[in-house]
Structure 1
Amino acid sequence: MTCILNLKYHESTVIHMFGISIYLSSDNDFEKTIQQASDKGFSLIFSSLHIPEENPANYRHLLTRLGAAANTHNMQLILDISAKSLAHIGLTIDTADQLTALGVTGLRVDYGLTTVEIAKLAKKIKVYLNASTIDSAFLETLIQAGVDISQVEAFHNYYPKPHTGLDIPFFKQTNAFLHQHGLKIAAFVPGDGEKRQPLFEGLPTLEKHRYSHPFSAALELETLGVDNIYIGDPALQSQTTEQFAAFAKDNTLLLDCQLAPNLDPRIQKHLLKPDNNRMDPARDLIRLEKSRPALAKIDISPTLSNTRPIGSILIDNNLFGRYQGEITIALCDLPIESKINNIGRITPDSIAILPFIKPGQTFQLRPNNESK
């Protein structure tokens, strides 16, 4: 019997810093997108000055709009730049800090800039470095140049081309090194709405996440030491956005489910309320802490629906004595049990969230009648 492994969370930070990506296209409704994201708890924006598919002639006008909207909603705006791309808006590395007047709060820099140029820039505006290319010698050079490391963060790439994303062992090793040197870390997960041109294959940092659900991918990045997580693609589905919003607000995980027809309304009402995994977590089950006290007085008769595949929503029936009324979620395929009724199932996308339900974690089921 193989069960889902509960993953150890990165201890030094609780990630409630989520970001969106907005690209400088003339048909992009920046203002509406940013307002909606802000309302849902997103506080970061990533954009870029060097996307080959966009027209650089429009950059300054579009960036002015983007910066104004970010400022209105008190969202940080991190802009990916190079010396060449700055020239498109009439700036150089020496004058790049002027972007702050447009609402830009940080600059992500990569190839083409010398250590001296990066050090000079970091004294004027927060700088985000390519996380994969930072080493001890480079950091020492920055410090010797008088850079305040608190003004520097690490930012992983996204990878549009399939099979080019990072592997987990390298990612973990890199992140451990960066945290040892006091750097915060950002990375990307793909969206599940509109995909980014030209390949439309998602924009993840980890190759594992290319076709993953964005929210479960984000939760995994947290376990791997990431502090700030951005959606690489331009859009999320509304249901997914609500999952990010609930987690950003009060650390609640939303799980989609299909419930059995003709389920006792009293049981269904409790099922759709927030509950907690017990503080003493079971290996094989998520145990809903509030279920047994709330449902103990209901006589729950055995049914023939007593299979227990992974993701099953289960309730102990009256054959289980004092455990009657306890609701659980199967973390692995379990044998048939006559003392337990199967009353629903978690959708496949939400099964991917189950490993991240910690002891005491608040979560809430929501009905989803569409099979995924």
Structure 2
Amino acid sequence: MARKLGVSIYPEHSTKEQDMSYLTKASHYGFERVFTCLLSVNKEKEDIITDFSEIINHAKSKNIEVILDIAPAVFQKLGINYDDLRLFSELGADGIRLDVGFDGLREAKLTQNEYGLNIELNMSNDINYLENILSHQPNKDRLLGCHNFYPQRFTGLPYDFFVRCSRRFKRYGIRTAAFVTSQGGAIGPWDINDGLCTLEQHRQLPIDIQAKHLWATGCIDDVVIGNAYASDAELRLLSELNRNLIELKVQTEHNMSDVEERILFNEKHIRRGDISDYMIRSTEVRKKYQNEEFPLRTSVSQKRGQISIGNNSFGKYKGELQVILKDMPQDKRKNIIGKVVDEELFLLDYIKPWGSFSLKNKG
């Protein structure tokens, strides 16, 4: 399924004009969904309908789907019957996210709603919650999954737990989502906002690296910015990402040749299937460039993240691109042409046998 980008808005903490401007901008950068929260809204029902419907209609005019975050208390506050989701449909929403679950049967019944609303489940638990819902025969086509975000520093999910939770949903082919945090966004649903990410390890990372990581895990379809408002630069960075391929930023060597540069940046690389612990080997390029010249240059010891190309002294391996995984001794048969930037080194572990990847100049 096609991967999507999303933003979040919090109308109770901003203005209608700011939110609509942000959605227009997000649409321009190719964002397709928006998360907004009813959990923290303290207004009368009529005011909520007025405020949210105009913003939601604007989002829909920009081809952005809208998910409303709710909980059982919201049903009570708004006087909504669980068997009638008319209000959310009248607001123009595409779906509702259940921040807190029910008993399994209730969620299954909600997927049968007559308005075609999707029901998005909270993914951030490692229990048989989803299996319980599925046992009650829901309309699976209307089930989605989305992780929580964590406004308080050091409360985000640990990686292994995140993977276990996510795989429960991927096992059944259910669309998944998780949150990344803008490093400049100051608005969230609550008065604490140390960033709004799902994974704790993402809290201080640049936003594009957070998104790359979520997609590299193979566990997440949609990446949503949790806080508002992300900067233009952040929106642009996410819009330029390859959503289906690991793309690593590279700091190049100043003496790299033109042909080495073409191999580095103009080719889609595939890791050889019979893998090595010491390097990622992209071997197809050596066939394509076998008639090119790769003069020997000064050689250095090989460090994790460095990228090399076999030079003229490397026989049949001339032109082969390698990304170093473990430190190795100097090898004069290889020219070092660049290095994966330090903050993206951990993404090397996600390039699997026969996995495709590309390399981008850091600039």
**SS in structure 2 opposite 1:332?**
coil
Corresponding residue for residue 19 of structure 1? 6
Provide the rounded CA distance (Å) in 2 between the counterparts of 1:305 and 1:186: 45
The alpha-carbon deviation at position 328 of structure 1 amounts to 1.9
Tell me the percent identity: 26
Q: Deviations over 1:197-241 (max 9, x none)?
A: 554432222223323444444455453634433222332674775
143, 159, 164: which one pairs with 1:152? 143
User: Contact 1:275–1:289 at 8 Å: present in 2 too?
Assistant: no
The code of the aligned residue for 1:130 comes to: N
Corresponding residue for residue 162 of structure 1? 153
Q: Deviations over 1:248-267 (max 9, x none)?
A: 3xx23332212111322232
Relative contact order, CA 8 A, sep 6+: which one is greater?
Answer: 1
Residue 188 (structure 1) aligned with residue 170 (structure 2) = no
348, 354, 372: which one pairs with 2:348? 354
Residues 103 and 295 of structure 1: CA distance in aligned 2, closer, same or farther (over 3 Å): same
**SS in structure 2 opposite 1:314?**
strand
CA-atom RMSD, angstroms? Answer: 3.6
Residues 359 and 62 of structure 1: CA distance in aligned 2, closer, same or farther (over 3 Å): farther
The alpha-carbon deviation at position 48 of structure 1 amounts to 0.8
Q: Deviations over 1:84-106 (max 9, x none)?
A: 55688x66355653222333111
The code of the aligned residue for 1:154 comes to: G
**SS in structure 2 opposite 1:342?**
strand
User: Contact 1:38–1:73 at 8 Å: present in 2 too?
Assistant: yes
Provide the rounded CA distance (Å) in 2 between the counterparts of 1:266 and 1:241: 30
Residues 34 and 363 of structure 1: CA distance in aligned 2, closer, same or farther (over 3 Å): farther
**SS in structure 2 opposite 1:256?**
strand
Count of aligned pairs: 350
Provide the rounded CA distance (Å) in 2 between the counterparts of 1:91 and 1:289: 63
Provide the rounded CA distance (Å) in 2 between the counterparts of 1:182 and 1:368: 35
126, 131, 139: which one pairs with 2:123? 131
Q: Deviations over 1:295-315 (max 9, x none)?
A: 433433322242321111212
Residue 316 (structure 1) aligned with residue 310 (structure 2) = yes
Provide the rounded CA distance (Å) in 2 between the counterparts of 1:287 and 1:171: 30
The code of the aligned residue for 2:96 comes to: L
The alpha-carbon deviation at position 120 of structure 1 amounts to 6.0
Residues 115 and 267 of structure 1: CA distance in aligned 2, closer, same or farther (over 3 Å): closer
User: Contact 2:282–2:321 at 8 Å: present in 1 too?
Assistant: yes
User: Contact 1:19–1:231 at 8 Å: present in 2 too?
Assistant: yes
Provide the rounded CA distance (Å) in 2 between the counterparts of 1:66 and 1:200: 23
241, 247, 252: which one pairs with 1:254? 247
Provide the rounded CA distance (Å) in 2 between the counterparts of 1:333 and 1:237: 38
**SS in structure 1 opposite 2:155?**
coil
Corresponding residue for residue 6 of structure 1? none
**SS in structure 2 opposite 1:336?**
coil
**SS in structure 2 opposite 1:107?**
strand
Corresponding residue for residue 73 of structure 1? 62
Q: Deviations over 1:142-193 (max 9, x none)?
A: 965x753443333321111112122344334434445566754432233345
Residue 365 (structure 1) aligned with residue 359 (structure 2) = yes
The alpha-carbon deviation at position 35 of structure 1 amounts to 4.3
Instruction: Select between 264-273 and 24-33 the one with higher mean Cα deviation.
Output: 24-33
User: Contact 1:300–1:325 at 8 Å: present in 2 too?
Assistant: yes
User: Contact 1:257–1:368 at 8 Å: present in 2 too?
Assistant: yes
Query: Where does 1:54-65 land on structure 2 (aligned, <5 Å)?
Result: 56=43, 59-65=48-54
User: Contact 1:317–1:324 at 8 Å: present in 2 too?
Assistant: yes
Q: TM-score, normalised by structure 2?
A: 0.78
92, 99, 115: which one pairs with 1:110? 99
The alpha-carbon deviation at position 30 of structure 1 amounts to 3.7
The code of the aligned residue for 1:92 comes to: I
User: Contact 2:5–2:31 at 8 Å: present in 1 too?
Assistant: yes
User: Contact 1:21–1:45 at 8 Å: present in 2 too?
Assistant: yes
The code of the aligned residue for 1:231 comes to: I
Provide the rounded CA distance (Å) in 1 between the counterparts of 2:269 and 2:176: 29
Residue 50 (structure 1) aligned with residue 39 (structure 2) = yes
Provide the rounded CA distance (Å) in 2 between the counterparts of 1:115 and 1:288: 48
